[in-house]
Protein backbone atom coordinates (compact mmCIF):
# COMPACT_ATOMS: atom_id res chain seq x y z
CA UNK A 1 0.00 0.00 0.00
CA UNK A 2 1.65 3.25 -1.13
CA UNK A 3 0.41 6.31 0.68
CA UNK A 4 1.38 9.82 -0.41
CA UNK A 5 1.26 12.37 2.40
CA UNK A 6 1.90 16.08 1.99
CA UNK A 7 1.99 19.38 3.80
CA UNK A 8 3.64 22.75 3.25
CA UNK A 9 6.51 21.69 5.52
CA UNK A 10 7.26 19.83 8.73
CA UNK A 11 3.72 19.94 10.19
CA UNK A 12 2.35 16.86 8.43
CA UNK A 13 5.12 14.78 10.00
CA UNK A 14 3.12 15.01 13.25
CA UNK A 15 0.53 12.88 11.42
CA UNK A 16 3.15 10.62 9.80
CA UNK A 17 4.55 9.88 13.26
CA UNK A 18 1.16 8.59 14.46
CA UNK A 19 0.73 6.64 11.20
CA UNK A 20 4.12 4.94 11.64
CA UNK A 21 3.24 4.03 15.23
CA UNK A 22 -0.14 2.54 14.37
CA UNK A 23 -0.17 1.20 10.81
CA UNK A 24 1.44 -1.96 9.45
CA UNK A 25 2.76 -2.54 5.95
CA UNK A 26 2.38 1.04 4.74
CA UNK A 27 4.90 2.56 2.34
CA UNK A 28 4.65 6.25 3.10
CA UNK A 29 6.09 8.91 0.81
CA UNK A 30 6.03 12.38 2.36
CA UNK A 31 6.35 15.66 0.48
CA UNK A 32 7.14 18.85 2.38
CA UNK A 33 6.33 21.68 -0.04
CA UNK A 34 8.59 24.17 1.71
CA UNK A 35 9.27 26.05 -1.55
CA UNK A 36 5.66 27.26 -1.37
CA UNK A 37 5.19 27.55 2.40
CA UNK A 38 3.37 28.92 4.23
CA UNK A 39 0.15 27.79 2.52
CA UNK A 40 -1.99 29.56 5.11
CA UNK A 41 -1.09 32.96 3.73
CA UNK A 42 -1.73 32.08 0.06
CA UNK A 43 -4.90 32.34 -2.06
CA UNK A 44 -7.22 29.37 -2.56
CA UNK A 45 -6.26 29.23 -6.23
CA UNK A 46 -2.57 28.96 -5.37
CA UNK A 47 -3.20 26.24 -2.77
CA UNK A 48 -5.32 24.22 -5.26
CA UNK A 49 -2.50 24.52 -7.77
CA UNK A 50 0.21 23.34 -5.30
CA UNK A 51 -1.96 20.44 -4.11
CA UNK A 52 -2.85 19.26 -7.63
CA UNK A 53 0.80 19.33 -8.77
CA UNK A 54 1.90 17.31 -5.73
CA UNK A 55 -0.88 14.76 -6.24
CA UNK A 56 0.04 14.33 -9.91
CA UNK A 57 3.72 13.91 -8.90
CA UNK A 58 2.78 11.19 -6.39
CA UNK A 59 0.78 9.36 -9.06
CA UNK A 60 3.38 9.66 -11.82
CA UNK A 61 6.44 8.82 -9.74
CA UNK A 62 5.11 6.49 -7.05
CA UNK A 63 1.74 5.15 -8.31
CA UNK A 64 0.20 5.85 -4.90
CA UNK A 65 -2.98 4.07 -3.79
CA UNK A 66 -4.02 6.73 -1.28
CA UNK A 67 -3.36 10.39 -0.55
CA UNK A 68 -3.34 11.95 2.92
CA UNK A 69 -3.56 15.74 2.89
CA UNK A 70 -1.75 16.28 6.19
CA UNK A 71 -2.61 19.96 6.15
CA UNK A 72 -5.80 21.68 7.33
CA UNK A 73 -5.20 24.59 4.94
CA UNK A 74 -4.81 22.44 1.80
CA UNK A 75 -7.78 20.26 2.82
CA UNK A 76 -9.98 23.31 3.24
CA UNK A 77 -8.87 24.87 -0.06
CA UNK A 78 -8.38 21.89 -2.36
CA UNK A 79 -9.89 18.55 -1.26
CA UNK A 80 -13.08 19.07 -3.28
CA UNK A 81 -11.16 19.74 -6.51
CA UNK A 82 -8.77 16.83 -5.89
CA UNK A 83 -11.67 14.41 -5.34
CA UNK A 84 -13.24 15.50 -8.62
CA UNK A 85 -9.95 15.27 -10.54
CA UNK A 86 -8.71 11.99 -9.01
CA UNK A 87 -11.89 9.94 -8.71
CA UNK A 88 -10.14 6.59 -8.25
CA UNK A 89 -7.75 7.72 -5.54
CA UNK A 90 -8.50 7.32 -1.84
CA UNK A 91 -8.16 10.87 -0.48
CA UNK A 92 -8.13 11.59 3.25
CA UNK A 93 -8.07 15.16 4.54
CA UNK A 94 -7.31 16.93 7.81
CA UNK A 95 -9.88 19.16 9.50
CA UNK A 96 -9.82 21.15 12.74
CA UNK A 97 -11.11 18.91 15.58
CA UNK A 98 -13.88 21.23 16.68
CA UNK A 99 -16.29 18.49 17.71
CA UNK A 100 -13.84 16.62 20.00
CA UNK A 101 -12.81 19.97 21.52
CA UNK A 102 -16.43 20.79 22.35
CA UNK A 103 -16.86 17.42 24.05
CA UNK A 104 -13.65 17.94 26.08
CA UNK A 105 -14.66 21.41 27.23
CA UNK A 106 -16.30 21.86 30.63
CA UNK A 107 -16.61 25.65 30.32
CA UNK A 108 -18.10 25.36 26.81
CA UNK A 109 -15.58 27.96 25.72
CA UNK A 110 -13.40 26.56 22.96
CA UNK A 111 -10.42 28.15 21.20
CA UNK A 112 -9.42 27.49 17.60
CA UNK A 113 -5.90 28.24 16.36
CA UNK A 114 -5.43 27.89 12.60
CA UNK A 115 -3.96 29.60 9.56
CA UNK A 116 -5.78 32.62 8.08
CA UNK A 117 -6.76 30.56 4.99
CA UNK A 118 -8.32 27.76 7.08
CA UNK A 119 -10.35 30.16 9.25
CA UNK A 120 -11.59 32.05 6.17
CA UNK A 121 -12.46 28.85 4.30
CA UNK A 122 -16.05 27.87 3.60
CA UNK A 123 -15.57 24.35 4.99
CA UNK A 124 -14.51 25.53 8.44
CA UNK A 125 -17.17 28.26 8.67
CA UNK A 126 -19.98 25.79 7.90
CA UNK A 127 -18.70 23.35 10.56
CA UNK A 128 -18.31 26.12 13.15
CA UNK A 129 -21.79 27.56 12.53
CA UNK A 130 -23.45 24.15 12.70
CA UNK A 131 -21.64 23.04 15.87
CA UNK A 132 -22.01 26.32 17.75
CA UNK A 133 -25.77 26.26 17.08
CA UNK A 134 -26.06 22.61 18.08
CA UNK A 135 -23.94 22.73 21.26
CA UNK A 136 -24.38 26.35 22.46
CA UNK A 137 -20.69 26.87 22.81
CA UNK A 138 -18.57 30.05 22.55
CA UNK A 139 -15.84 29.69 19.96
CA UNK A 140 -12.76 31.91 20.08
CA UNK A 141 -10.89 31.90 16.77
CA UNK A 142 -7.36 33.06 16.31
CA UNK A 143 -5.32 33.11 13.09
CA UNK A 144 -1.60 32.72 13.75
CA UNK A 145 0.30 34.26 10.82
CA UNK A 146 4.05 33.76 11.19
CA UNK A 147 3.81 30.80 13.57
CA UNK A 148 4.47 28.20 10.86
CA UNK A 149 7.77 29.96 9.96
CA UNK A 150 8.80 30.03 13.63
CA UNK A 151 8.19 26.27 13.82
CA UNK A 152 10.01 25.56 10.54
CA UNK A 153 12.98 27.46 12.01
CA UNK A 154 12.91 25.28 15.12
CA UNK A 155 11.85 28.22 17.33
CA UNK A 156 9.40 26.21 19.39
CA UNK A 157 9.83 28.06 22.68
CA UNK A 158 12.02 31.07 21.97
CA UNK A 159 11.03 34.45 23.49
CA UNK A 160 9.60 35.58 20.11
CA UNK A 161 7.36 32.50 19.77
CA UNK A 162 6.20 32.77 23.39
CA UNK A 163 5.41 36.45 22.95
CA UNK A 164 3.39 35.74 19.74
CA UNK A 165 1.44 33.05 21.63
CA UNK A 166 0.86 35.37 24.59
CA UNK A 167 -0.68 37.97 22.28
CA UNK A 168 -2.95 35.43 20.63
CA UNK A 169 -3.94 33.49 23.74
CA UNK A 170 -4.43 36.12 26.45
CA UNK A 171 -8.10 36.78 25.62
CA UNK A 172 -8.81 33.02 25.53
CA UNK A 173 -7.19 32.58 28.93
CA UNK A 174 -9.15 35.48 30.43
CA UNK A 175 -12.41 34.15 28.97
CA UNK A 176 -11.93 30.69 30.54
CA UNK A 177 -11.26 28.68 27.38
CA UNK A 178 -10.40 25.13 28.49
CA UNK A 179 -9.98 23.34 25.14
CA UNK A 180 -8.02 24.54 22.13
CA UNK A 181 -8.21 23.09 18.64
CA UNK A 182 -4.78 22.89 17.00
CA UNK A 183 -6.19 23.56 13.53
CA UNK A 184 -2.84 23.39 11.74
CA UNK A 185 -0.64 20.30 11.71
CA UNK A 186 2.40 22.40 12.67
CA UNK A 187 0.87 23.57 15.95
CA UNK A 188 1.24 20.36 18.04
CA UNK A 189 4.97 21.13 17.84
CA UNK A 190 4.40 24.21 20.02
CA UNK A 191 1.90 22.39 22.27
CA UNK A 192 4.15 22.70 25.32
CA UNK A 193 4.56 26.45 24.76
CA UNK A 194 0.79 26.85 24.37
CA UNK A 195 0.26 24.99 27.65
CA UNK A 196 2.81 27.20 29.37
CA UNK A 197 1.09 30.38 28.16
CA UNK A 198 -2.35 29.00 29.10
CA UNK A 199 -0.93 27.95 32.51
CA UNK A 200 -1.16 24.22 31.66
CA UNK A 201 -4.84 23.93 32.40
CA UNK A 202 -5.94 23.17 28.88
CA UNK A 203 -6.96 20.35 26.53
CA UNK A 204 -5.13 20.56 23.21
CA UNK A 205 -6.95 18.82 20.39
CA UNK A 206 -5.12 17.47 17.34
CA UNK A 207 -6.36 14.97 14.80
CA UNK A 208 -3.47 12.63 13.93
CA UNK A 209 -5.13 9.60 15.57
CA UNK A 210 -8.46 10.22 13.82
CA UNK A 211 -6.68 10.45 10.45
CA UNK A 212 -4.65 7.30 11.08
CA UNK A 213 -7.86 5.47 12.02
CA UNK A 214 -9.46 6.61 8.77
CA UNK A 215 -6.41 5.46 6.76
CA UNK A 216 -6.67 2.09 8.47
CA UNK A 217 -10.39 1.80 7.69
CA UNK A 218 -9.98 2.72 4.03
CA UNK A 219 -6.69 0.96 3.29
CA UNK A 220 -6.67 -1.98 5.66
CA UNK A 221 -7.44 -4.62 3.03
CA UNK A 222 -4.32 -3.72 1.09
CA UNK A 223 -1.91 -3.64 4.04
CA UNK A 224 -0.29 -6.82 5.28
CA UNK A 225 -0.20 -6.81 9.06
CA UNK A 226 3.17 -8.55 9.33
CA UNK A 227 4.98 -6.02 7.14
CA UNK A 228 7.08 -3.11 8.41
CA UNK A 229 6.18 0.47 7.49
CA UNK A 230 8.57 2.49 5.39
CA UNK A 231 8.99 6.25 5.03
CA UNK A 232 10.64 8.33 2.32
CA UNK A 233 10.81 12.11 2.79
CA UNK A 234 11.02 14.57 -0.09
CA UNK A 235 11.14 18.36 0.05
CA UNK A 236 10.71 21.07 -2.59
CA UNK A 237 12.84 23.57 -0.64
CA UNK A 238 14.82 23.99 2.54
CA UNK A 239 13.88 21.86 5.55
CA UNK A 240 15.50 21.44 8.95
CA UNK A 241 17.00 17.93 9.29
CA UNK A 242 17.21 18.30 13.06
CA UNK A 243 13.50 19.17 13.28
CA UNK A 244 12.65 16.10 11.14
CA UNK A 245 14.70 13.99 13.56
CA UNK A 246 13.12 15.65 16.60
CA UNK A 247 9.56 14.98 15.34
CA UNK A 248 10.13 11.38 14.20
CA UNK A 249 12.67 10.40 16.86
CA UNK A 250 15.04 9.12 14.19
CA UNK A 251 17.31 10.52 11.46
CA UNK A 252 15.95 10.48 7.89
CA UNK A 253 17.58 11.50 4.62
CA UNK A 254 15.54 14.20 2.89
CA UNK A 255 15.68 14.20 -0.90
CA UNK A 256 15.28 17.50 -2.73
CA UNK A 257 12.76 17.50 -5.59
CA UNK A 258 11.42 19.98 -8.14
CA UNK A 259 7.74 19.69 -8.95
N1 LIG B 1 0.42 22.66 8.35
C2 LIG B 1 -0.54 23.29 7.54
C3 LIG B 1 -1.94 23.25 8.10
O4 LIG B 1 -2.28 22.28 8.74
C5 LIG B 1 -0.19 24.52 6.76
C6 LIG B 1 0.62 25.57 7.38
C7 LIG B 1 0.99 26.64 6.40
O8 LIG B 1 1.75 26.35 5.50
O9 LIG B 1 0.50 27.76 6.54
O10 LIG B 1 -2.75 24.12 7.89
Mean pLDDT of 92-107: 96
pTM of the model: 0.96
Q: Tell the residue nearest (CA) to atom 2 of ligand 1.
A: 71
* Residue pair 92/67 in contact by the 8 Å Cβ criterion: yes
Closest by CA position to 120, among listed 39, 232, 52, 5: 39
- 17: domain CATH number? 3.40.50.1860
Q: Which atom of ligand 1 is nearest to the CA of 114?
A: 10
The answer to whether residues 11 and 83 belong to one domain is: yes
Q: ∠ CA 189-192-196 to the nearest 5 degrees?
A: 145
Is the pLDDT confidence value at 59 over 80? yes
3-state helix, strand and coil shares in percent for the chain, rounded to the nearest 5 = 50, 20, 30
Cα 96 to middle of ligand 1, angstroms:
11
The model's confidence at residue 53, banded by pLDDT at 50, 70 and 90, is very high
Count of domains for the chain: 2
Q: What is the pLDDT of residues 156-204, one digit of tens each?
A: 999 999 999 999 999 999 999 999 999 999 999 999 999 999 987 899 9
Q: Which atom of ligand 1 is nearest to the CA of 12?
A: 1
* Residue pair 1/219 in contact by the 8 Å Cβ criterion: yes
Catalytic residue annotation: 71, 184
Sign of CA dihedral 193, 208, 248, 150: negative
Cα 213 to middle of ligand 1, angstroms:
21
The answer to whether residues 113 and 196 belong to one domain is: yes
The answer to whether residues 74 and 14 belong to one domain is: yes
Residues framing ligand 1 (Cβ under 6 A) = 7-8, 11, 37-40, 71-73, 115, 118, 148, 184-186
User: In a mutational test of the pocket of ligand 1, which residue from 30, 123, 153, 186 has the highest number of ligand atoms less than 8 Å from its CB?
Assistant: 186
E strands, the chain, are: 2-7, 27-32, 66-69, 90-92, 109-114, 138-143, 179-182, 203-205, 230-235, 254-256
Which pLDDT value is given to residue 200? 74
The answer to whether residues 52 and 132 belong to one domain is: no
Which pLDDT value is given to residue 227? 80
Sign of CA dihedral 189, 191, 193, 197: positive
Structural domain of 47: 2-94+208-256
End residue of a domain, out of 205, 220, 236: 205
The answer to whether residues 17 and 104 belong to one domain is: no
Q: What is the pLDDT of residues 212-254, one digit of tens each?
A: 999 999 886 665 566 899 999 999 999 999 999 999 999 999 9
Is the pLDDT confidence value at 18 over 60? yes
The answer to whether residues 107 and 127 belong to one domain is: yes
Q: Average per-residue pLDDT in the chain?
A: 95
Cα 19 to middle of ligand 1, angstroms:
18
Which pLDDT value is given to residue 223? 59
Q: What is the pLDDT of residues 115-145, one digit of tens each?
A: 999 999 999 999 999 998 899 899 999 999 9
The answer to whether residues 106 and 193 belong to one domain is: yes
The answer to whether residues 14 and 42 belong to one domain is: yes
Amino acid sequence: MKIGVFDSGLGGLTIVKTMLENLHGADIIYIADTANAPYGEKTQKQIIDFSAKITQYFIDKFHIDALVIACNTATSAAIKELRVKYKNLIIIGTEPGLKPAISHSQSKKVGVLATPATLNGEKYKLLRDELSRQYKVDIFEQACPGLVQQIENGELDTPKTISMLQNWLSSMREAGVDAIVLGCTHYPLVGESIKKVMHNDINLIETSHAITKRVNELCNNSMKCDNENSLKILSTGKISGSMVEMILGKKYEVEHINI
